[in-house]
């Protein structure tokens, strides 16, 4: 295939990938929004809500290393499409249960475990395929458009979910998700996942590595990449303490502040709007020069915002002002999320060898989520026992301190030596 035709195909991938993410994310987030309200209103317990979050995290954490092996060994396109079909079937199963015996927490938890696995396999396969689908010059644009599609869905889905919740039944929410997932399958089936792939083909007669040998090779490769190791440790601990927000935000607004479903949906939509604004900005600007440094300060701001969620529990606010406060807070959080994640993803896409991407991204996901189930259990218990404002403030302080320690100047120097070289040149020029 000549270069001009490949670039045209890459442009098709760019927009097909974006639309596919938009459709599937919209269905997923409408479903998640309705389910969060359903569980909290049915039980009124942060523990029950946290348990569902654990079901969304624990299976993917345990299975991620095996997903990495499969993604590097077998067709990434087949894994993506199979995972999306399995998602559709799992939601269909929950729909049948809702009609025959009614929704129960057990059925919801089982479905959440299945969806966790399917989304993880699809996510690792897609993350490993970006450089095969898109030319290198447009990787940041691809990652930004991907985030834009998720943001568009996140803006619309909470608003739609908030308006529809109570007006329609849970089975309708399930049907919406099934239709969206089916459309995503159709779009993904038209994409060539090896268009720009640099993955080495196995020679004829070459002995295949066993699964354990392959996984061990991935770990060995990772040990030669100190910057990626630093990212993994930061992700591990930051995600643990961010569990205070994951569990606490919905619990505080719905249970403690009694915010109505429509307004709660709009606050989540504000976070998505912030993500959309930053995604648009990153899609049209040149690549971020110092992604590790930008991500460091972005996480520190996120920790500050997380602590700010607790302010209305200390200071009484009129309902209208309370609603506006959370809109602004979540808008800022959305901006920071994209500013942290997108430049870092671009850096990883370019640094990791294609034949190791599945294993490295799966290890990254495993480590990033390894402590999250523990965090969900811990915070689910703490929010039912202790004042939520103090839990958030302490968790926010720990998060900021950890980032300052793990991303200290000596680590930043290793990540971006050119930054310090430029400073040294500038200082010498100023001295003369």
pLDDT tens profile 242-274: 888 877 888 888 777 888 877 887 887 788 788
User: Of the candidates 146, 70, 223, 268, which has an alpha carbon nearest to the alpha carbon of residue 138?
Assistant: 146
For residue 148, give both structure tokens: 């834009």
**Rounded mean pLDDT of the chain?**
79
Specify if 206 maps to a domain.
no
Count of all residues that appear for the chain in the document = 432
CB 98 within 8 A of CB 171: yes
Read off the pLDDT band of 20 (50, 70, 90).
confident
Q: Which of 22-26, 351-355, 368-372 has the lowest mean pLDDT?
A: 368-372
Per-residue pLDDT tens for 83-109? 889 988 988 888 888 888 877 778 888
Question: Is the pLDDT score of 373 beyond 70?
Answer: no
For residue 215, give both structure tokens: 């996984």
Specify if 268 maps to a domain.
yes
Query: What's the whole-number mean pLDDT along residues 17-46?
Result: 74
Q: Give the single-character DSSP code of 136.
A: G
Reduced to 3 states (helix: H, G, I; strand: E, B; else coil), residue 168 is: strand
Query: What's the whole-number mean pLDDT along residues 337-345?
Result: 85
Q: What is the percent of the chain where pLDDT is above 90?
A: 5
Reduced to 3 states (helix: H, G, I; strand: E, B; else coil), residue 165 is: strand
Q: Which domain holds residue 388?
A: 3-194+211-431
CB 340 within 8 A of CB 332: no
pLDDT, residue 425, reads: 59
Specify if 200 maps to a domain.
no
Q: What is the percent of the chain where pLDDT is above 70?
A: 86
pLDDT, residue 300, reads: 92
Specify if 174 maps to a domain.
yes
pLDDT, residue 204, reads: 38
Q: Which of 145-149, 227-231, 302-306, 390-394 has the lowest mean pLDDT?
A: 145-149
Specify if 23 maps to a domain.
yes
CB 354 within 8 A of CB 199: yes
Query: How many domains would you assign to the chain?
Result: 1
Specify if 331 maps to a domain.
yes
Read off the pLDDT band of 301 (50, 70, 90).
very high
Specify if 223 maps to a domain.
yes
Domain containing residue 402: CATH number: 1.20.1250.20
Specify if 49 maps to a domain.
yes
Reduced to 3 states (helix: H, G, I; strand: E, B; else coil), residue 209 is: coil
pLDDT, residue 203, reads: 41
Question: Is the pLDDT score of 323 beyond 50?
Answer: yes
Cα 235 from Cα 237, distance rounded (Å): 6
In DSSP terms, 165 is beta-bridged to 168
Tokens 């995972």 appear where? 83
Query: What's the whole-number mean pLDDT along residues 166-173?
Result: 71
Where is pLDDT greater, at 187 or 371?
A: 187
Query: What's the whole-number mean pLDDT along residues 301-314?
Result: 89
């Amino acid at each position: 295939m000549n270069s001009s035709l490949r670039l045209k195909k890459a442009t098709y991938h760019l927009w097909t990938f974006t639309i596919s993410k938009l459709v599937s994310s919209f269905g997923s987030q409408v479903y998640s929004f309705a389910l969060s309200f359903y569980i909290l209103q049915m039980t009124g317990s942060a523990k029950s809500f946290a348990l569902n979050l654990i079901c969304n995290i624990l299976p993917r954490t345990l299975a991620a290393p095996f997903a990495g092996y499969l993604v590097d060994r077998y067709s990434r396109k087949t894994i993506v499409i199979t995972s999306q079909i399995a998602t559709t079937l799992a939601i269909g199963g929950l729909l049948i249960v809702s009609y025959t015996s009614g929704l129960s927490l057990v059925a919801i938890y089982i479905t959440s475990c299945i969806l966790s696995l399917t989304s993880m396999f699809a996510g690792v396969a897609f993350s490993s395929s970006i450089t095969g689908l898109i030319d290198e010059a447009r990787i940041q644009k691809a990652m930004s458009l991907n985030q834009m599609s998720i943001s568009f869905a996140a803006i619309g889905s909470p608003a739609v979910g908030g308006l529809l919740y109570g007006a329609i039944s849970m089975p309708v929410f399930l049907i919406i998700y099934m239709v969206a997932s089916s459309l995503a399958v159709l779009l993904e089936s038209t994409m060539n996942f090896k268009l720009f792939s640099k993955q080495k083909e196995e020679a004829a007669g070459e002995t295949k590595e066993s699964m354990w040998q392959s996984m061990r090779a991935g770990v060995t490769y990772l040990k030669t990449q100190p910057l990626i190791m630093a990212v993994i440790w930061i992700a591990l601990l930051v995600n643990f303490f961010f569990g205070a927000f994951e569990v606490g935000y919905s619990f505080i607004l719905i249970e403690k502040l009694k915010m109505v479903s429509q307004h709660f949906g709009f606050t989540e939509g504000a976070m998505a709007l912030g993500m959309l604004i930053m995604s648009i900005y990153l899609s049209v600007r040149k690549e971020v020069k110092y992604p590790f440094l930008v991500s460091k300060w972005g996480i520190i701001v996120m920790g500050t915002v997380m602590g700010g969620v607790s302010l209305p529990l200390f200071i009484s606010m009129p309902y209208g002002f309370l609603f506006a406060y959370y809109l602004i807070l979540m808008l800022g959080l959305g901006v920071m999320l994209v500013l942290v994640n997108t430049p870092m993803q671009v850096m990883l896409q370019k640094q990791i060898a294609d034949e190791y991407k599945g294993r490295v991204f799966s290890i990254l996901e495993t480590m990033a989520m390894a402590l999250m189930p523990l965090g969900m259990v811990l915070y689910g218990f703490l929010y039912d026992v202790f004042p939520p404002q103090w839990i958030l403030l302490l968790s926010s302080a720990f998060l900021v301190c950890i980032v300052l320690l793990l991303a200290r100047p000596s680590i930043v120097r290793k990540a971006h030596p050119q930054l310090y070289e430029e400073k040294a040149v500038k200082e010498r020029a100023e001295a003369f």
